[in-house]
Structure 1
Amino acid sequence: MTTQVFTEVPQPLQVELADALVPSVEAGEYYTELTHVWAKGDDEHPLTDAPVKRAFSVMSPQMSLPHGTVHAVIPADSTSGFFQTVLPHVTLERAVLPWERLPAGGSALSGEMALPPSWLAVLLFAEGELPGDPGAVGERQARTAKEFKDKAVQEAVVWPDITVQAPDSEPCFSIDVPADVFARIAPREEELPYVAHTRTVREKKTESAWFPPAEDGEDLTQGQFSVVLSNRMPRAAGRYVAHLVSLEGWSERLTEAHVPQRGTMLRLISLHSWVFDSHDTKGKDFERLATALARPEHVPGDAVDPHRLDLALRPTPGNSTSAATERLRRGYVPVEYRVHSGERTLAWYRGPLTPMTAQKLPAPGEVGQVQVARYRSAEECHTYVQGQGVFDIGYAAAWALGRALVLANGDLSKRLVKARSLGWETLHTVTAYLQRHPDADEAEIRAHLDAALPGPTLFARRLREGLLDRLTTALASPGQAPTDREPVAPDPPADVPLSWRERTVRAWDHPDIDVKAMVRARMARHLTARGAVDHALLYPPPPADDRDPLVAPGSGLDALTLLCSAPFSYLVPDPRMLLGPQPREPAGATSGEGLRLFYLDSGWLACLQDGAVSVGIGTTLDASLTDELRKTLLAHPGTPVTGLLMRSRLVEACPDIVIEATTGPAEKPVRLVALRREMAGDLLMMLFAGVPDTISLQEPDHGIHFGAKGDWEELSWSLRALKGDGSQPVGRPLTASVALDPATQLRRDGAGDVLHLCGGTPGLVAALSTELIKQKQLDKGLLSPGQLGLQLTRSPLKLDLTRATEGRS
């Protein structure tokens, strides 16, 4: 049985959000006046000089942004994803920038506090909303600052009412926005303080300062930044373009009372823009899908199921015997089986993925007085189930499948036959050498075999044995002859004697020389030379000595490669084993989603390999060589023993989902090496090199962003703590949340995707503030801009599945 806990992925950096960073003086034109006055005592007529005036300018970016000002944008430029509940935003390196100018010439009031407004805003446009960019591809009009000074009269075009400080030649960009579109999506004057806040990122004292960058999000780095939020979410699927625009000079059009004139175009300064594609997120929320996977709804009468994540069939209540129920619980399924004589009968089948540790497979047995290293036919793998009168054909099916996989792979079949031929050649070479040198020891024979190695292999070995050092010594002393010469391979016998077969057998069973090890090494080296699949992460590095008698992973005959080539029906013979029951549906109906944990049956994988190496055996010596070849395929250290199967929309919605398995205490967990395999669009298999205590499903790292959780049918706002102490920090997620109320939290004149933050009627800020007061996280009043930013912050979630302490076998 498992328990599940949802947590946020911990961040190694400390993030602080504040309301604003207001400069002492806004950008603009200023002057100073100096008057010198001379007075003595109570002189009623002091002397006064003529006043002196000096003008000066406080400069700030106005028409364009310096290079490097934009730190990051969310969603990232030119990306596509599930962004329907994300509030686009831009992070600026210049922390004071949003407050260096005033859009309305003064401070906007919100509640009891005078909050500084932002002169910047992120406006989000869908396809067809901008006449100059109907495809939302980011097209802008290139202009100069002089054009905004001159404000050439154009029919139905309104220029911003600003005093341009930039030089006439400074380049800039503009977009023409229909007045009615601007009125629908632009933030109101009262909302301007809430669309921007500051962010300070510091290193935590207890953790590393490093934070991995998110592929589709913001690389969180240390420093002080400003953040400008959009008030619109891309609710409808499609392409969008976001513009960071200047609101300077548009104060009269930011009031709710303003009525836009149809057909009028507003020429806005676009300081930055980016585009993205938003897909439909319906039914693809990570938290909801992961929760349903780990704790599915059960049919009545099955409310508590300690084996709900086992890869096994559920028997229909009252419709099976206790013996059959036990077989089902152990992962077996009943199948129809045709014996070789043609009769059809019932049999049990279980694949390599089992809900509990499988019993050790018996040894293949003996042929004469010799212990057999492998099963030589599928019939040898049959297991008879006493008491039920049927066969367990799982291991026999594995043997037959392994043989079929190699026969279907022409390249692998050729390599297997070639490896066996090299074994023949090696044995014949050793036999010939022993015929001419009966007293040769093992070192001499290995040297003789090395002389026959392929050029690149022999050269690599000689380099490891110090060839360069010997060459350097020889070049330094040209008068001296080399002290060690390579042994010269003697010529093979001119004719084959009549006792050649007997001599070969004697060489094969030589009492003092391990000829079989030499043969194994030669065959293993050939099979490893052209690996097709890289499973190296599951195994330690190969030894430097190429005499290693084990076939490396990825050769095509190792257990993992064969397992990954097996048809899915061999792994999961009945889809009901993987899919959960459908609530409120007839018995047997499945939900289409499933998460199952399993053990790997090493006996099944051994039979799979036995069948694979059986291809191409024609003689008794072929069989003996195959026995030795089979020994090279023994399990390597790090071979997986457990795994996970997941079939869910979550795999499609989050293709980069992070799945980790750990063992040991929670304080010092040890991560298990894992192999990941995407088997289909919604099907994922993980294999772990150990038995995990905790399995974590982690949302892909999308960096820090803002938005709501769920989909638009059940949208809600997560809440975070505004108060904390040493053990309960500020910003921790609260269990409470606020559901989206379209009547009060969405703009009435919008397209159903523009937030109503505040002003006029209570909006999102008031709704969040009210709930936080109930949770005793806010004393009174309304949230500040920084506090609102904290409530809208979303970070990756992680679901931990913890194994019960009492294990099962």
Structure 2
Amino acid sequence: MSPSPRHPDRDTIPLGDIELHDHYLPALPAGDYRIEATHTLRTAPDENAQVVGVPSRAVQRFTVHAPQVAIDTTAVVARQPPEASGGRFAEVLPHLVLGDPLLPWERPLRGASRTTPWLALLVLTDDQLTGGTTAPTRTVSTTVGGFLAPDPAVLKPDLPLEADIGLDDPCDWVQVPTTVFPEVAPRLDEIRYLAHCRGANTGDRPILGIEEDGLFSVVVANRFPAAAPPGSPPDAGTKNIVHLVSLEGHERILVDDPDFQGRTSVALLSLCSWSFWAYPDGKAHFRDLAEGLTRTPDGSRPATREEMWLRLASPYQDTGDTPAARRQVARRINDGYVPLPYLTRSGETTYGWYRGPLTPVLPLATDRVTTATTADSLIGYDPAWGSFDVSLATAFETGRALALADAPFAQHLIAFKHATRDLADTLYHQATSSHLPPDPGERQRPPTARAAFGTLLDGHLLTALGAPPASPGGTWSPPAPPPPPSNPTQELSAFLRSDTARSAVTRALDEDDGLKEHLTPVVKWLGRLLLLHPVPFTHLVPDERMLPPESLRFFHADPNWLDALVGGALSVGAQSSRDTLQDRIVAAAVRARAASEAARHRDTERDRPNENPADPPDTPDTPAPVPGSVCGLLLRSALVSGWPNLAVRARDRAGEPLPVLRMDHLSPTVLLCLFDGVPAAVELGEPQEGFRFGVEDDGLIPLRNMLRSPHSGRDLPLGEQLGPDVTFSVLDHLRPSADGQVRVLDVGSLIPALAAALDAAHGTAVGPIGPADLALQMVRVPEAIRFNGPEGGR
């Protein structure tokens, strides 16, 4: 995937809005180039002057690299309809979203304008492909040399390979019969309308390793999927196969009446492919899946608000007429606890209550968590019921185990502790040594004996050494050493507890020549730990019944659990009471910096792929606010796999977006979101760059405003529908076909008819229709589901 410049206004686009552009052209198309320079020396400035010697000539060859026979799979951001999905897709135009906005225009097509893409989406059925029967999408895997080898029955592309492409390089290709190709392939002058560029704010999406510049390219198919006719059985699905193909080298057959030179099939490079099933009735629509999240796991009834918290369903009621023991169980389960087997240190088998960091209630913070030095000190015991609470002890052990398992972090942490110990020793000796003279006034004492000697050299010592020796005035005797401390350990501990030592150590955490160098990698790792990045999923959701398939669960983040987690990680390397005391001195400052790192972590990850040297450095010198109450959601649904860049937006009571601390896929079907604050509303929506294309069930599309200024007495925002009855029939502009399942847009007929309809609807000429204009009219309204807080409906 070729790099692209970061969108300068990436995060200024409002969440949910998109920018549409006709194309995003590279400065120089891909290919092999030659620069030739000739220098002629003449006897005079006049062009007719005599030439001296032979003209000098220099030639420089170079290649502009771009994908040609294969693309990086990470370039594909989304496929619509989703891969392997089934639904009512007959009125949806399949499309592909690419994370590289330049890719469709990086290669030129012969005989076409610079704005014509070299890629196209072909929608086919199994009977419209030849060969490749062992692959789900009927592709054939071979080498470039094998693909280009002449075949009397197969028309191969006239493909000039770039210098970096070898005949042994792998590639995939498909065969389309010559009887099918003219029906489904776009014409050369139609291709430019089937791709465009989009800009979107990516702050409400998971980070998927894509270029986080907010620019995407979209390639749209010209054919509606094949589906069983209305009235067919609901399970009468039709398999549709979509191929992103290269048209380079096939320009001569992208016409109405192509000459296939006696061949029976056409060979096309397949750069990406997937399949889906189109049914008469919907089975995997966004709306159906989203509405399913609002129901109980068995789908029998709508779920209550209480049932959408991350917890088990209690078998008992927390009411006055419930027996005390069962009521205790109900209260524990309603608070998010799960009973799990527990083996005590003495070998006894019992059970313990466990609750992870994601809870349906917000526990009160307790100071004992931040001062704990062992996991056992955090085990809770309820003598009234004889039960253990192992939640915080598990968090402590988890943090310690994760720290020990990460060798680089453990090394950084030990180095930080050694540096802190050396600093504390230096401060203690400075305070107790009689060899460092006290400084008069408010001038600071030299930190070491070496520094004190340097101070003498800067004074009158050299002058005194050059003067003649003076006669001794009396008998000299060496100074008496100070008496040894009666209890060195106690005095050192008292010094470490003093405000002087604490302030000096804390100050050194921010100094370049202090502890900052050792602290920075420790803080970065702890920031990720606070966002639960390395924590096993079973520690987050200890029972699968808490998050059943096709469910959405909300939670608070337990600050005590997170404090215990960090405490366990920081306990590595503590070998004595002195180490424990030293850790307590810096713990508060380290935890605060780790929290700031957690707050800035997502922004750092979004900017990392760009590696823009102009961006400000991400260091503790630019502190981020410490997160407050952290809340979030867990989504387990086909929405996650079908819409991998699903948009999740949380807003506060004022309607302002809440900062996203983390949004990641924990598995292909599980999404975790953490927000800085308690949301008043959460919205799950189709991503802006992945809007669906197509028509309504009646084949109509609503026409949208294309003028920024008021017209015909109406002041509508750009892209707003002109009215409920202002529509256009797209299905009136299909290519003739004897097969009712082959419905291909006749773009040559569609564009002028759509332009005339828009002019009439606006009451004025709107100008020529480009790819972005067509996308604006053909895009289907994105669907979203909104969950409100207790004061509103769902």
Give the TM-score normalised by the residue count of structure 1.
Answer: 0.53
CA distance in 2, matches of 1:399, 1:717: 60
CA distance in 2, matches of 1:706, 1:244: 28
1:8-52 CA deviation, whole Å, 9 max, x = no partner? 93235699xxxxxxxxxxxxxxxxxxxxxxxxxxxxxxxxxxxxx
Are the counterparts in 1 of residues 362 and 556 from structure 2 also a CA contact under 8 Å? yes
> Could you tell me which of 584, 588, 592 is aligned with 1:631?
588
1:594 matched to which residue of 2?
551
CA distance in 1, matches of 2:246, 2:653: 48
Closer, same or farther: CA 183–382 of 1 in aligned 2, 3 Å: closer
CA distance in 1, matches of 2:577, 2:96: 72
| 2:550 is the counterpart of 1:555 | no
1:314 matched to which residue of 2?
313
2:491 matched to which residue of 1?
506
Count of equivalent residues: 574
Which amino acid letter does the alignment assign opposite residue 16 of structure 2? V
> Could you tell me which of 339, 355, 380 is aligned with 2:377?
380
Closer, same or farther: CA 658–156 of 1 in aligned 2, 3 Å: closer
Report the alpha carbon displacement of residue 83 of structure 1 after superposing the two structures with TM.
4.9
SS in 2 for 1:801: strand
Q: Which runs of 5+ in 2 are unaligned?
A: 1-13, 23-67, 82-92, 98-103, 133-138, 156-174, 200-211, 226-238, 452-456, 462-477, 597-624, 707-713, 763-767
Are the counterparts in 2 of residues 311 and 578 from structure 1 also a CA contact under 8 Å? yes
CA distance in 1, matches of 2:153, 2:314: 74
Which amino acid letter does the alignment assign opposite residue 584 of structure 2? D
Report the alpha carbon displacement of residue 390 of structure 1 after superposing the two structures with TM.
1.5
1:44-102 CA deviation, whole Å, 9 max, x = no partner? xxxxxxxxxxxxxxxxxxxxxxxxxxxxx9x999965525642699999xxxx999xxx
Closer, same or farther: CA 396–88 of 1 in aligned 2, 3 Å: closer
Are the counterparts in 2 of residues 559 and 605 from structure 1 also a CA contact under 8 Å? no
CA distance in 1, matches of 2:565, 2:645: 31
CA distance in 2, matches of 1:595, 1:86: 28
CA distance in 1, matches of 2:285, 2:182: 34
1:472-508 CA deviation, whole Å, 9 max, x = no partner? xxxxxxxxx98999xxxxxxx9999983573564354
> Could you tell me which of 601, 605, 620 is aligned with 2:577?
620
> Could you tell me which of 554, 559, 564 is aligned with 2:533?
564
SS in 1 for 2:394: helix
> Could you tell me which of 351, 356, 365 is aligned with 1:351?
356
SS in 1 for 2:591: coil
CA distance in 1, matches of 2:662, 2:384: 40
2:600 matched to which residue of 1?
none
SS in 2 for 1:558: helix
> Could you tell me which of 391, 395, 403 is aligned with 2:392?
395
SS in 1 for 2:501: helix
Closer, same or farther: CA 86–504 of 1 in aligned 2, 3 Å: same
Are the counterparts in 1 of residues 416 and 519 from structure 2 also a CA contact under 8 Å? no
SS in 2 for 1:217: strand
Map 1:57-76 onto structure 2 (within 5 A): none
SS in 1 for 2:487: helix
| 2:662 is the counterpart of 1:675 | yes
> Could you tell me which of 630, 635, 640 is aligned with 1:646?
635
> Could you tell me which of 278, 285, 288 is aligned with 2:273?
278
Give the TM-score normalised by the residue count of structure 2.
Answer: 0.54
CA distance in 2, matches of 1:572, 1:249: 55
Closer, same or farther: CA 444–687 of 1 in aligned 2, 3 Å: farther
1:406 matched to which residue of 2?
403
Closer, same or farther: CA 446–803 of 1 in aligned 2, 3 Å: farther
Closer, same or farther: CA 570–723 of 1 in aligned 2, 3 Å: closer
Give percent identity, aligned residues only.
Answer: 22
Which amino acid letter does the alignment assign opposite residue 435 of structure 1? S
Are the counterparts in 1 of residues 123 and 243 from structure 2 also a CA contact under 8 Å? no
2:471 matched to which residue of 1?
none
Report the alpha carbon displacement of residue 305 of structure 1 after superposing the two structures with TM.
0.8
Are the counterparts in 1 of residues 94 and 221 from structure 2 also a CA contact under 8 Å? no
CA distance in 2, matches of 1:596, 1:495: 73
Closer, same or farther: CA 495–411 of 1 in aligned 2, 3 Å: farther
Map 1:246-257 onto structure 2 (within 5 A): none
CA distance in 1, matches of 2:480, 2:663: 55
Q: Which runs of 5+ in 1 are unaligned?
A: 1-6, 16-72, 100-119, 143-154, 159-175, 204-211, 219-226, 255-259, 365-372, 453-480, 486-492, 526-541, 580-590, 710-714, 779-783
Report the alpha carbon displacement of residue 720 of structure 1 after superposing the two structures with TM.
2.7
SS in 1 for 2:433: helix
| 2:17 is the counterpart of 1:10 | yes
Are the counterparts in 2 of residues 347 and 390 from structure 1 also a CA contact under 8 Å? yes
SS in 1 for 2:689: coil
Report the alpha carbon displacement of residue 573 of structure 1 after superposing the two structures with TM.
1.0
CA distance in 1, matches of 2:524, 2:195: 53
Are the counterparts in 2 of residues 663 and 691 from structure 1 also a CA contact under 8 Å? yes
SS in 2 for 1:605: helix
CA-atom RMSD, angstroms? 6.6
| 2:566 is the counterpart of 1:575 | no
> Could you tell me which of 668, 678, 685 is aligned with 2:672?
685
Closer, same or farther: CA 244–596 of 1 in aligned 2, 3 Å: farther
Which amino acid letter does the alignment assign opposite residue 687 of structure 1? L
1:398-450 CA deviation, whole Å, 9 max, x = no partner? 22323333343444444444444444433333333322257747987774169
Map 1:758-773 onto structure 2 (within 5 A): none
Closer, same or farther: CA 451–395 of 1 in aligned 2, 3 Å: farther
Report the alpha carbon displacement of residue 308 of structure 1 after superposing the two structures with TM.
3.9
Map 1:110-189 onto structure 2 (within 5 A): 124=122, 180-182=179-181, 184-185=183-184
Which amino acid letter does the alignment assign opposite residue 304 of structure 2? D
Which amino acid letter does the alignment assign opposite residue 230 of structure 1? N
Map 1:138-537 onto structure 2 (within 5 A): 180-182=179-181, 184-185=183-184, 216-218=216-218, 230-231=222-223, 235-238=240-243, 240-242=245-247, 264=262, 276-281=271-276, 287-288=286-287, 291-292=290-291, 294-296=293-295, 298-299=297-298, 302-316=301-315, 321-361=326-366, 363=368, 374-385=371-382, 387-433=384-430, 434-437=432-435, 440=438, 447-448=446-447, 499=484, 502-503=487-488, 505-506=490-491, 508-510=493-495, 514-517=499-502, 520-521=505-506, 525=509
Closer, same or farther: CA 790–700 of 1 in aligned 2, 3 Å: closer
SS in 2 for 1:598: strand
Report the alpha carbon displacement of residue 607 of structure 1 after superposing the two structures with TM.
1.8
CA distance in 1, matches of 2:580, 2:395: 20
Report the alpha carbon displacement of residue 601 of structure 1 after superposing the two structures with TM.
1.0
Are the counterparts in 2 of residues 699 and 798 from structure 1 also a CA contact under 8 Å? yes
